[in-house]
Amino acid sequence: GAVVSQHPSWVICKSGTSVKIECRSLDFQATTMFWYRQFPKQSLMLMATSNEGSKATYEQGVEKDKFLINHASLTLSTLTVTSAHPEDSSFYICSAGSRGAYSNQPQHFGDGTRLSIL
Amino acid sequence: GDSVTQMEGPVTLSEEAFLTINCTYTATGYPSLFWYVQYPGEGLQLLLKATKADDKGSNKGFEATYRKETTSFHLEKGSVQVSDSAVYFCALRTNNDMRFGAGTRLTVKP
């Protein structure tokens, strides 16, 4: 079946560092990728939706200058947490799928990235 | 906007007990509905799905029926096992958006 690869799986870094997380669809073309954040024991929170070749759509309350999303190809989307601080520590998950007429297809999720900012 | 309301947990059951996790949704269009499962330390996995009214999704003994009249997609299993212990998320998808419920933690004791 379709596989989404997310990398890295775990990052520990100092406050002020920028961290890039990659989400790759390995065997299908992902026209749409979603980025989620999950706080401990809570649900996924949608951060942004990225469509290949266009700017990402951010959810209310998500700082687009803080969380930079790039979806330059049909197989790769990146989330960059700029100048990360301890409050950015969280579990970030991407998912990939096709938009529009294929909305009855499930999203395929990466395994997530655990980000810890010291 | 679109939303998913899911039964709050945690839920603790004995092995072989019957499981129901309630899920209702609000959507302006005709969403597809999904149940995802997250085992400890792992990412989300698709458990089952239904794409139109009256469809029944099933997998690994779990079932859920898309009920348009009650806007519900309750997850059921007749006899749970210890290995079913996980967090279960109900989700809906419209053309370009996806929403999740808050998740329900299930613990099955031997």
Paired with B41 in beta bridges are: none
Distance from CA of A84 to the nearest CA of B (A): 23
Interchain contact B73–A (C-beta under 8 A) = no
Percent of chain A with pLDDT over 90: 46
pLDDT score recorded for residue B96: 60
Q: Among A32-36, B8-12, B14-18, name the most confident range.
A: B14-18
CA distances from residue A111 to A5, A12, A20, A92 in whole angstroms, order as listed: 7, 17, 16, 9
**pLDDT tens readout for residues A25-48:** 887 788 888 899 987 766 678 898
Distance from CA of B55 to the nearest CA of A (A): 12
Under 8 Å between Cβ of A25 and A18:
no
Q: Alpha carbon A91 to chain centroid distance?
A: 10
Q: Mean pLDDT over residues A55-75, rounded?
A: 90
* Residue whose C-alpha is closest to residue A103's, from A26, A27, A25, A34: A34
**pLDDT tens readout for residues B28-83:** 878 889 999 988 766 678 899 998 999 999 999 999 999 999 999 999 999 999 99
pLDDT score recorded for residue A46: 84
Interchain contact B99–A (C-beta under 8 A) = yes
Q: Which two tokens stand for residue B74?
A: 């309750």
pLDDT at A101 over 50: no
pLDDT at A102 over 60: no
